[in-house]
Amino acid sequence: MVKITGFKTNDVRFPTSLTGDGTDAMNTDCDYSSAYVTLETDSELRGYGMTFTIGRGNDIVLAAVAEVAGRLLGKDTEELFSDMGATWDYLVADPQLRWIGPEKGVISIATGAVNNAVWDMYARSRKKPLWKLVVDFTPEEIVRSAAWRYISDAITKEEALAMLKEKEAGKKEREENVKKVGYPAYVTSAGWLGYSDEKVARLTREAVEQGFSHFKMKVGANQANDIKRGKIIRSIIDDPQYLPERHKNRSPNDESVRGKNAGPTGAVLMIDANQVWDVQQAIDYVKGLEEIKPWFIEEPTAPDDILGHAAIRRGLKPYGIGVATGEHAHNRMVFKQLLQAEAIDVCQIDSCRLAGVSEVLSVLLMSAKFGIPVCPHAGGVGLCEYVIHLSLIDYIAISGTMERNVLEFVDHLHEHFKTPCSINDNGRYNVPLDPLEGYSIEMYEKSIAEFEFPHGSYWVGAAKK
Dist CA 451 CA 434 (whole Å): 26
- Bond before 129 cis per omega within 30 degrees: no
| Mean pLDDT value across residues 340-354 | 97
Closest CA to 322 of 334, 337, 312: 312
- Calculate the alpha carbon distances from 199 to 19, 191, 216 in Å: 12, 9, 15
Sequence-distant (≥ 6) Cβ neighbours of residue 28 within 8 angstroms? 193, 194
Structure-model confidence comparison of residues 244 and 19, the more confident one:
244
What interhelical angle do 105-125 and 357-370 show, nearest 10? 100
Q: Using DSSP, state whether 391 is helix, strand or coil.
A: helix
Check pLDDT > 60 for residue 80.
yes
Check pLDDT > 60 for residue 24.
no
Q: What pLDDT is attached to residue 21?
A: 56
208-229 pLDDT, tens digit each: 999 999 999 999 999 999 999 9
Residue 179 lies in a domain: yes
Q: Using DSSP, state whether 139 is helix, strand or coil.
A: helix
Check pLDDT > 90 for residue 95.
yes
Cα 222 to chain center, whole Å?
A: 27
Percent of the chain with pLDDT over 70: 98
Residue 147 lies in a domain: no
Q: What pLDDT is attached to residue 245?
A: 87
Residue 244 lies in a domain: yes
Confidence of residue 20 (pLDDT cuts 50, 70, 90): low
Check pLDDT > 90 for residue 207.
yes
Q: What is the largest CA-CA distance in the chain?
A: 63
| Mean pLDDT value across residues 415-421 | 97
Residue 230 lies in a domain: yes
What is the number of structural domains in the chain?
1
Q: What is the pTM of this model?
A: 0.96
Structure-model confidence comparison of residues 403 and 29, the more confident one:
403
Residue 4 lies in a domain: no
Check pLDDT > 80 for residue 29.
no
Asked if residue 23 lies in contact with residue 39, where contact means CB atoms within 8 angstroms, the answer is no
Dist CA 312 CA 286 (whole Å): 10
Residue 149 lies in a domain: no
| Mean pLDDT value across residues 112-138 | 98
- Calculate the alpha carbon distances from 15 to 9, 11, 62, 412, 463 in Å: 20, 13, 19, 12, 13
Helices (H), 215-278: 223-237
Residue 241 lies in a domain: yes
Check pLDDT > 90 for residue 251.
no
| Mean pLDDT value across residues 390-419 | 96
Dist CA 463 CA 465 (whole Å): 6
Q: Which of 58-62, 89-93, 105-109, 252-256 has the lowest mean pLDDT?
A: 252-256
Residue 151 lies in a domain: no
CATH code (residue 399)? 3.20.20.120
| 3-state SS record for 30-77 | CCCEEEEEEEEECCCCEEEEEEEECCCCHHHHHHHHHHHHHHHCCCEH
Check pLDDT > 60 for residue 106.
yes
262-280 pLDDT, tens digit each: 999 999 999 999 999 999 9
Confidence of residue 426 (pLDDT cuts 50, 70, 90): very high
Q: What pLDDT is attached to residue 184?
A: 96
Q: What pLDDT is attached to residue 191?
A: 77
Check pLDDT > 80 for residue 162.
yes
Q: What pLDDT is attached to residue 15?
A: 92
Confidence of residue 22 (pLDDT cuts 50, 70, 90): low
Structure-model confidence comparison of residues 190 and 133, the more confident one:
133
Closest CA to 246 of 261, 268, 265, 270: 265
Q: What pLDDT is attached to residue 265?
A: 95
Q: What pLDDT is attached to residue 412?
A: 85
Confidence of residue 189 (pLDDT cuts 50, 70, 90): confident
Parent domain of 300: 171-429
| Mean pLDDT value across residues 28-32 | 79
Catalytic residues: 218, 377
Q: What pLDDT is attached to residue 23?
A: 54
